[in-house]
Structures are given as structure tokens and as C-alpha cells.
Amino acid sequence: MPTRHALVADALRALLLSMFLISAAEGQAPRTILAIGGHAGDMELTAGAVLLGAHQRGDRVVILHLTLGEGGNPKLSPAEYGAQKKREAEAVASALGADVLFGPYRDGEIPNDEAARRYVADVMRQVKPTLVITHWKESLHKDHSITSAVVQDAVLLASLPGVTLAHPAWRGIRSVWYADNWEDATNFAPYVFVKVTDALSAWRAAVSQYEFARGGIAGFPYVEYYSALATVRGAVVYKGQAVAFAVEPEARRRVLDSLP
């Protein structure tokens, strides 16, 4: 009869083997991650370290900016600052290993309508993401909360073959995660934590290409804030530095055949 020690060793070997097989399977099937923000800079600051880490592991990363956030510099016209933000967004996306797309909307004027939902749904069909990251539902900034509402509905529209858009239906979105943004803090409940310790330094260098992220426009130290937040989020889950995301209530479930 096997000893208790032998049974424990066998169980550990089985666990390690299953973890290896899961990692191998994930390595063979790269994911596509689509991060959708109201303004250039939103997703890179809140989720950029996660996006960089995903790229480093072989996943495809795409960032969609619905606006450039061109109204945020009191010293420049929207046209001038928009051109600057677009250059910065392209440079940051390149440093993160991401493709970048720019929406047709103006800062502060993202419409909460069916046309915006259809536009985002067609981008989803074109990109074919397996994971979507966007703003949390409640925000100090209307562009953020509207972006969240538009994205939520667009996931459904993208999946329906009966909805006619430029690209065929895509039903491969497995999850929608909501980014941890200081402007979107109302009722935000962190649920998913992703370790970013190895990517944090490169992420800081990448997002610092945004003048506003360095604190050079409004004085708010965005890069330092989100670096510190990564340490806070990582501390509570014993992961060094981590980025947290909220999920829908129905996603907070585990289905088991027996107790683990």
C-alpha cells in the first residue's frame, strides 16, 4: 500500500503536470486582447503593464481610443494637442507591442447611441478579441461611463449574425474586464489581479511618452500614481506589483463537481 508521503508526492506531480499542460495549451493558442478607452492614454495607464506582459507572452494586443482626449491641454488648441496625442499614442502602443486604432469622436462628445455601439461592435468583429478591457461603469468623466455602456452593448451586437455590419459576427469574446481608474472609482470592486512586476519598468518608460502622464500638463503624477497603485494591489494578493480589474457579478462564480 502506498505511504501517505508517496500519495502526496503523486498528487503534487499530477498538479504540476496539469499546470504545465494548461500553460502549454495557452502558449499554443495566443489570445487577442482589445482595450477600449475614452481617450488616448486611459487604457495604457490603467492596463498598460498587463497589455505589455500579454504581448511579451505572445498575445496580440489592440488598443482603441474612441477620442484623442484633445481637449485636455489649456495651452494648445484641440487640433494641435490632438496631433500631439496621436503621435504619443502611436509611440506608446509601439513600446507596449500593441496595434492602435483611433475612433471618430471628439473629446467630451462620445455619443451614447446606437451608432456608437455599432461602430465599436464592428471593430470587435474586425479585431476578433478573446478579452475586452474597458472603463468601469461609474465615473467622474462622462466619456468613461459612456464608453463602458457602449462597449457592454457592443459585445452583444458583435456576436449576432443578424446584425449587419462591415465584418461578420464574432462570438469569441470570453470576458470583459473593467480597468482600475482613479476617475472611475465609484463602486469599483477589484476582483481579478494580474501580476505585472516584470513589466512595470518597461511600462513606466512607455507611458511616460505621454506628456500628461508625466504630470506635464495638469500636474497630476499619473505614472507615479499607477505605479503606487500596482504596489498596493499587489501587496494584498502577495504578488509584488499587480493590476486589478472589476468584472460583472455573473462572472464571479466557480462551478465545481465537488469541493476543491
For 159-209, the DSSP string reads: H-TTS--SS-------EEEEE--GGG-TT----EEEE-GGGHHHHHHHHTT
Q: Which grid coordinates belong to 54?
A: 500579454
What is the C-alpha R_g of the chain?
20
- The confidence score (pLDDT) of residue 8 equals 37
What is the 8-class DSSP label of residue 250? G
User: Stretch 130-159: mean pLDDT, rounded?
Assistant: 98
**Beta strands in 116-159, from DSSP E residues, in sequence order:** 131-134
What is the tens place of the pLDDT at every residue in 225-235? 999 999 999 99
Q: Which grid coordinates belong to 153?
A: 452593448
Q: Which grid coordinates belong to 139?
A: 465615473
pLDDT at residue 12 greater than cutoff 90: no
- The confidence score (pLDDT) of residue 23 equals 38
Which residues lie across from 35 on neighbouring strands?
A: 63, 133
Q: Tell the residue number behind the cell numbers 468583429, with chain if given.
A: 125
Q: Determine phi and psi for 105, rounding to 5 degrees.
A: -100, 165
Q: Which grid coordinates belong to 172?
A: 469569441
Strand pairing class (131-134; 175-179):
parallel
What is the 8-class DSSP label of residue 34? E
- The confidence score (pLDDT) of residue 11 equals 39
| Domains of the chain, each with CATH number or no CATH | 30-249 (3.40.50.10320)
Sheet holding 60-67: strands in order across?
A: 99-102, 60-67, 32-39, 131-134, 175-179, 242-246, 192-195
What is the tens place of the pLDDT at every residue in 209-227? 999 999 999 999 999 999 9
Q: Could you tell me the pTM of the whole model?
A: 0.88
